[in-house]
């Protein structure tokens, strides 16, 4: 396999995540402090960050004919390892996972997109929009109400149910403001987020075929992504 040359940065071929990546994240969970991390930062860079960037570079190539509107970039999309400890009771300084998110070109965090998350024991691959703003929710719910048949053909299809079950996330207990309780699509309108995905065992990421498997999931979620972005008037 060839190297990936993106914006004059070279990333090695993706042959699967090394098992050392999971070992590092397990050790970090036990030693989540700045002193330990600084002593082992080269392991993070070589076994976690660089393989993730190579994975994203390979995913970029794999997805370019499927969803060219999605921004997939090895340096822009990966989440930082450093946690924001200003809020909440957990003051540990580092995340014990590696993750990335992919949105529409030019619409970072303003659009529906894709997500990948790897940690010891688990992988999550998904897409949609998580906890949209009130204004975004209004647009999405209006689109579902106006284009109910189109939306239901996506989330109620046999293939969607087989692969993803249903949409994830919290729901309102009552009808949202502006919609009658007996609206035909009321259960979909109650959602506070619109996303779906799959959970895999960590061993999936060790294989070279991980890129192709993720691409298939993202392709299956593309109708949902495009519906949401059309509702948000993005793209």
pLDDT (tens digit per residue) in 191-213: 999 999 999 999 999 999 999 99
Report d(CA 194, CA 127) in Å as an integer: 9
Report d(CA 167, CA 221) in Å as an integer: 11
So what's the pLDDT on residue 1? 53
Radius of gyration (C-alpha) of the chain in whole angstroms: 19
Q: What are phi and psi of 88, to 5 degrees?
A: 90, 170
C-alpha torsion 126→127→132→135, nearest 10: -170
Is 90 exceeded by the pLDDT of residue 227?
A: yes
So what's the pLDDT on residue 89? 75
So what's the pLDDT on residue 38? 96
Contact call for residues 60 and 214 (beta carbons, < 8 A): no
So what's the pLDDT on residue 114? 98
Per-residue pLDDT tens over the stretch 71-130: 999 999 999 999 887 777 778 999 999 999 999 988 877 899 999 999 999 999 999 999
Q: Give residue for tokens 């299809």.
A: 157
Buried b (16+ CB within 10 A) or exposed e, 149-178: eebeebbeeeebeeebeebeeeeeeeebee
So what's the pLDDT on residue 26? 97
- 1.20.950, 3.30.930, 3.40.50, 3.30.70: which CATH number matches 4-231? 3.30.930
Confidence grade of residue 4 (pLDDT, cut at 50, 70, 90): low
């Amino acid at each position: 396999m060839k190297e990936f040359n993106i914006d004059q940065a070279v990333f090695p071929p993706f042959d699967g995540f090394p098992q050392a990546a999971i070992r590092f994240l397990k050790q970090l969970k036990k030693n989540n402090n700045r002193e330990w991390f600084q002593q082992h930062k080269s392991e993070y860079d070589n076994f976690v960050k660089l393989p993730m960037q190579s994975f994203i570079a390979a995913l970029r190539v794999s997805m370019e004919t499927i969803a060219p509107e999605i921004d997939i970039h090895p340096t822009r999309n990966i989440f930082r390892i450093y946690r924001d400890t200003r809020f909440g009771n957990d003051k540990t300084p580092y995340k014990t996972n590696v993750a990335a998110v992919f949105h529409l070109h030019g619409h970072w965090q303003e659009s529906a997109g894709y997500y990948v998350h790897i940690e010891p024991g688990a992988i999550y691959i998904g897409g949609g929009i998580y906890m949209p703003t009130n204004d975004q929710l209004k647009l999405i719910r209006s689109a579902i109400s106006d284009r109910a048949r189109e939306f239901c053909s996506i989330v109620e299809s046999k293939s969607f149910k087989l692969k993803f079950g249903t949409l994830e996330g919290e729901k309102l207990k009552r009808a949202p403001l502006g919609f009658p309780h007996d609206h035909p699509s009321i259960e979909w309108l109650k959602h506070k987020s619109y996303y779906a995905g799959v959970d895999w065992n960590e061993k999936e990421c060790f294989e070279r075929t991980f890129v192709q498997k993720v691409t298939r999931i993202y392709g299956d979620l593309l109708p949902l992504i495009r519906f949401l972005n059309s509702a948000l008037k993005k793209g």
